[in-house]
Amino acid sequence: MIEITRETVSLLDQNDPLASFKEEFHLKTNSIYLDGNSLGLLSKRAEQSVLDVLNDWKEQGIDGWMGGKYPWFTLSEQLAEKLAVLVGAKPNEVIVTGSTTVNLHQLVATFFEPKPGKTKILADELTFPSDIYALQSQLKLKGLNPETELIQVRSQNGLTLEEDDIIAAMTEDVALILLPSVLYRSGQLLNIERLTQEAHKRNIPIGFDLCHSIGALPHELSKWGVDFAFWCNYKYVNAGPGGVGGLYVNQNHFSKTAGLSGWFGSNKESQFDMDHTFDGEQSAGGFQIGTPHMLSTAPLIGSLAIFEEATIEKVRTKSLSLTRLLMDLINQEMKDVFQVVNPLDDKRRGGHIALMHNDAARICKALKDNGIVPDFRSPNIIRLAPVALYNSYTDVYDAVQILSKIMKDKEYEKYENKREVIA
């Protein structure tokens, strides 16, 4: 293997078609941010769009709903058109609304229709805990016991899932399937198209949590026939802490009445008639519940404008190149120090690298004190996410050199091997 040097990676930066977008973001001096898979950084455009929405509120008051730079009444639909490009959906199949778990509750309340002999929900044991809490709650609301009715596909190695195991669990008693697109610890990317096809062969509706894939890689939800999906926008989409989420409903299901009906799911033309008979929008907009949160929606205006220019295809190409470089450098500098537990195959990998080490928690603390912002996941995983829009190839090289020094000098040993409150 040819040695990778700083000069080598600087050439990659010189030929990077996305290099200029780094200037769009607020980056700290002497710091390399590799935690965009938990919280994306603030862009200057997102900052400006928040100021614009605040100004409309200041200058127009109630008239901001229909006037101003970004009329609030239709902003969720307007942004959904741009967000639909990132998930490969028709514009009316996407809506900007709610939060990850609220949207999950909405979709499960809509699509989970248990019948005698068909009462189970299929998930997996590696998914994010909030998804499991929501599924348990929805089962209880239907008078069902989560301990018997929630099936969680087992992992053979505690890190990844075998798709054959998931398919084998698609039995006749399963009424709904919910899976992550990318596993949050290991970064494994599931084959959404294959799993959807297999679910539909068995007449089971299937949905996906896209939190760890949206903004990092392209999707083709409509083409694949996925029934529903949901996500946050504060990771790779850079919409800010607690930023508004999004959901997708395949157009084949527009006739369904939302399981949790609310005022903003009403037909826009009749919403203010104040009729007590619910008249839902025949689109993903019909699955909104409450009034859009304008101040947590506003950052998306600027963020999605950047994605329009960069394109998700170029973002994915660079993301894969960055994570490949990171793995190659780990192998070059610290071959026997860490176990790389994310998939090595580009087609199976999301946007982050996962390193296993028994001292992961305190290594992360040492990295932070050396200007590298990583992410820790219990019990022993370091996640590093070089983000295509604001990380350079040189960032990756420098971060690995710092990590290598920390390990050689055993600098991490001065820290307690225990996570902070927020890991």
| Predicted confidence (pLDDT) per residue in 106-162, tens digit | 999 999 999 999 999 999 999 999 999 999 999 999 999 999 999 999 999 999 999
Residue 186 has pLDDT above 90, yes or no: yes
For the chain, what are the domain ranges?
A: 6-30+312-412, 49-309
What pLDDT sits at residue 261? 93
| 247, containing H or E segment | strand 246-249
Q: Find, among 3, 289, 348, 6, the residue nearest to 160 by Cα.
A: 348
Angle at 371 between CA 367 and CA 373, to 5 degrees: 60
What mean pLDDT is predicted for residues 345-361?
Answer: 97
Q: 0.85 exceeded by the pTM?
A: yes
> What is 49-309's CATH topology?
Aspartate Aminotransferase; domain 2 (3.40.640)
- Amino acid at site 77: E
Q: Is 201 exposed, middle or buried (0-12, 13-18, 19+ CB in 10 A)?
A: exposed
CB 293 within 8 A of CB 34: no
What pLDDT sits at residue 273? 80
Q: Write out pLDDT tens, residues 264-287.
A: 888 888 888 888 988 888 999 999
Query: Could you tell me which residues come within 8 angstroms of residue 207 by beta carbon, excluding any fewer than 6 positions away?
Result: 107, 108, 111, 176, 177, 178, 179, 226, 227, 228, 229, 230
Three-state SS for 124?
A: strand
Residue 103 has pLDDT above 90, yes or no: yes
Residues flagged as binding site: 100-101, 128-131, 209, 212, 234, 263, 291
Banded pLDDT at 188 (limits 50, 70, 90): very high
In 271-343, the DSSP E strands lie at 339-340
Q: Is the sign of the CA dihedral 48, 34, 401, 31 positive or negative? A: positive
Return the percentage of the chain with pLDDT > 90, whole number: 93
Residues flagged as binding site for pyridoxal 5'-phosphate: 100-101, 128-131, 209, 212, 234, 263, 291
Residue 363 has pLDDT above 90, yes or no: yes
DSSP structural state of residue 308? H
What mean pLDDT is predicted for residues 71-90?
Answer: 97
Residue 76 has pLDDT above 90, yes or no: yes
* 271 or 352: which leads in pLDDT: 352
> What is 6-30+312-412's CATH topology?
Aspartate Aminotransferase, domain 1 (3.90.1150)
Beta bridge partners of 173: none
Equal CATH topology for 6-30+312-412 and 49-309: no
